Structure 1
Amino acid sequence: MRGFFTRFALVFSVVALAGQVPATAQDADPADTRWSFAIHGGAGTISREDMTPQEDAAHRAALQAALDAGSKVLEEGGTAMDAVEAAILLLEDEPRFNAGRGAVYTWEGSHELDASIMDGATRDAGAVAGVTNIRNPILLARKVMTDSPHVMLAGKGAEDFAVEQGIEIVPPSYFDTERRREALERMKARQLSSLDVDLKFGTVGAAALDRNGNMAAGTSTGGMTGKRWGRVGDAPIIGAGTYADNRSCAVSATGWGEYFIRVGVAHEICVRLRTQHRLEALTAQLGVPKDDNGWPETVVHASELDLEPEIAQKVSDDVMDDVEKLGGDGGIILVTPEGHALFSFNTAGMYRGRATSDGVNEVAIYGDE
């Protein structure tokens, strides 16, 4: 009986080891360190037929600029948090995307912006919702994380905190764009739903793995055209639109927020990946040769195992399938501790880009790219 409990304790310890954080870059030869980065600018009904060559080129240029900004931080040894911030700042200032300058209008004709950011090393997080005069909500979200005891601030309280922290304040008219105004007018005149005028979800986001093995994710949005009653989607909600955990992944989402909240998309993907990592470690341990007394000759540690990109892709696709079964659509970007930068979306297209220390550097828009 004693042998049974001893073996049970060994198996339990293996599973526990499998849940530990994988070895970081400090444990490796500096020449072997790697970084990975992914961005998105929204998903939805995006087809070549609806894009002029000029608009196609402009969107790709904006995505490339954001991708390059984050990649530069990582290439030079900067943190995942700084890379995420650098990319989202550019996307918030680009009026083609539904975040910051290009935010959609509420039913009343104003703008209410949301953002969140999370540090995978500590699982510290910050978020803001329903702010109306913050030029770059991602900066305020990070300040909530670093300079307040809270995770989320909303509305006027968040704006008061921004003033205290020296975050740039702009007049609400800064976010006005003719294209977004026309969408609201068309929605009201034809009694359409927001989904009829928001052919794409222009939420922006980034996910990163830095050379120290730390991860981060961030998301920023203007929400849905014609939203009312202080509606808040998934973008500022940690676990729904944003999540980062060094043990599993960093995720940023874009799509029909109500469904992403109900599924808990970002956290769900990370939990499934962490569980998969544990199973892989346990399976490997069971295959270790035994000594004459039946004891394993070695103990497998999770840091010795890398999950294949196909596994991470399937996990992401399965979670997005769950969203679709409930009636929602959209997409996610995903970065893993192994350095994989992946996408999963159930829409016709998704503004996206990825770069890695292995030389990958690409942006894409349509589903067949």
Structure 2
Amino acid sequence: MKSTILCAVAATLFALFPTLASAQENEDAEPRWSIAIHGGAGTLDPDRMTPERRAAYEAALQQALDAGSEILANGGSAMDAVQAAIIPMEDNPLFNAGRGAVFTWEGTNELDASIMDGRDRSAGAVTGVTTVRNPILLADRVRTGSPHVFLMGEGAEQFAVEQGFEVTPPEWFATEARRRSLERMRAEALSALDVDHKFGTVGAVALDMDGNLAAGTSTGGMTGKRWGRIGDAPVIGAGTYADNRSCAVSATGWGEYFIRVGVAQEICTRLRIGYNRETFTGREALTELERVLNTMRSQRPNKSFQQTVIDSVMAEVAELGGDGGVILVTPEGHALFSFNTTGMYRGRATSDGVNEVAIFGGHVEAEASETPDH
């Protein structure tokens, strides 16, 4: 009887996933890599975006995407690719990270960043730094060069100096456009959302040819932030998370809500549970079912399931009153997005030939045949 049930289960699973028959062929396939990036999400109006400004954003996204893709295509690590993709966005005043970061209420630029390695779930994060040109590099140094995960303010900057980071003067980060946003906010008693209309946080997630995942996020926070406010970007589990067993996620949005939901880890946890759901009881049944499920996982789990999980977590953010978006890469190389705003600056590239950047439109799944909306 038990054997009959198992055969029926296996037959059903193979009927639902016909590619399982080519499991051996998949083992001989070339190693795959994948990367996704974002440059913020928010209330973006296509009618108010000039062709020149749109071209500038698309060029900046492509530059970041190319930097990360080159690392992966040459066999480099996901961790190196994530940093390579984020650095040019931190240096570009179009984005709210590094140079071009928004101003606090006191008129300073305070920077946050975090990074996580999916191999061992080691992580590093910094918040409130003002003298480090590329905070994502400092976050990684916290991960590799200290016994800690999260450093803040003066202590993080002291650590940076001890680690050989150059002190970057405040004028490097300041831009006139961001200063005007702060002045308008003060003069008209507006909220940060009224001034910015978007969240310019930057991030990247990647899968390398060794099957390792990584995620990183960097931001200047919200215009006019006060009292040492910290958003989700430097918070491991909220704005950044990577776990080889499930996914790598970087988020952008209204940080308070992403923290409350624990967006990044929540997505990875739901996917991991979904991958390993035990439907039957009994050791023999579980052993056989595990064999079948392992074969399924080797054939790229269903993207519609993965997208549903991502969208459901973002729906929780919306239900609480928050908005924003996420990028995600899975162990199978799927590069996915989800956002509940009118747009999200984003891009993705894979070893299957996908290479595209986009600003408007809804969530998309990674298929080489799709047409980007740029």
Superposed pair shares fold, TM > 0.5 = yes
How far apart are 1:297 and its partner, in Å?
A: 6.3
- Aligned mates of 2:344, 2:28 — CA distance in 1: 35
Whether 1:357 aligns to 2:348 is: no
Q: 1:70-91: per-residue Cα shift (whole Å, max 9, x none)?
A: 0100000000000000000011
Whether 1:85 aligns to 2:83 is: yes
- 2:365 — aligned with what? none
- 2:250 — aligned with what? 252
Structure 1 residue ranges without an equivalent (≥5) = 5-27
Maintained 8 Å contact 1:116/1:138: yes
- 2:308 — aligned with what? 314
- 1:300 — aligned with what? 291
- Aligned mates of 1:70, 1:333 — CA distance in 2: 15
Q: 1:94-133: per-residue Cα shift (whole Å, max 9, x none)?
A: 1000000010000000011000000000100000000011
How far apart are 1:32 and its partner, in Å?
A: 2.0
- Aligned mates of 1:298, 1:182 — CA distance in 2: 60
How far apart are 1:247 and its partner, in Å?
A: 0.1
% identity of equivalent residues? 68
How far apart are 1:367 and its partner, in Å?
A: 1.9
Q: 1:287-332: per-residue Cα shift (whole Å, max 9, x none)?
A: xxx9xxx997675165422321111111000000000000000000
| Cα 1:296–1:215 shift into 2, 3 Å | closer
- 1:171 — aligned with what? 169
How far apart are 1:47 and its partner, in Å?
A: 1.7
Q: 1:332-356: per-residue Cα shift (whole Å, max 9, x none)?
A: 0000001100000000000000000
Maintained 8 Å contact 1:136/1:168: no
Taking only aligned residues, the RMSD between alpha carbons, in angstroms, comes to 1.9
For 1:216, give the aligned amino acid: A
Whether 1:344 aligns to 2:342 is: no
Whether 1:113 aligns to 2:107 is: no
Whether 1:326 aligns to 2:320 is: yes
Q: What TM-score, normalized by structure 2, do the two folds share?
A: 0.86
Maintained 8 Å contact 1:59/1:96: yes
| Cα 1:297–1:276 shift into 2, 3 Å | closer
For 2:103, give the aligned amino acid: Y
Whether 1:201 aligns to 2:195 is: no
- Aligned mates of 1:39, 1:30 — CA distance in 2: 29
Write out aligned runs for 1:135-214 (5 A).
135-214=133-212
- Aligned mates of 1:297, 1:324 — CA distance in 2: 40
For 1:312, give the aligned amino acid: Q
- Aligned mates of 1:30, 1:213 — CA distance in 2: 15
Runs of 4+ in 1 over 3 A off after TM superposition: 28-31, 294-299
- Aligned mates of 2:340, 2:359 — CA distance in 1: 13
Maintained 8 Å contact 1:139/1:167: no
Structure 2 residue ranges without an equivalent (≥5) = 3-25, 363-372
- Aligned mates of 2:219, 2:266 — CA distance in 1: 21
Q: Report the count of equivalent residues.
A: 335
Q: What TM-score, normalized by structure 1, do the two folds share?
A: 0.87
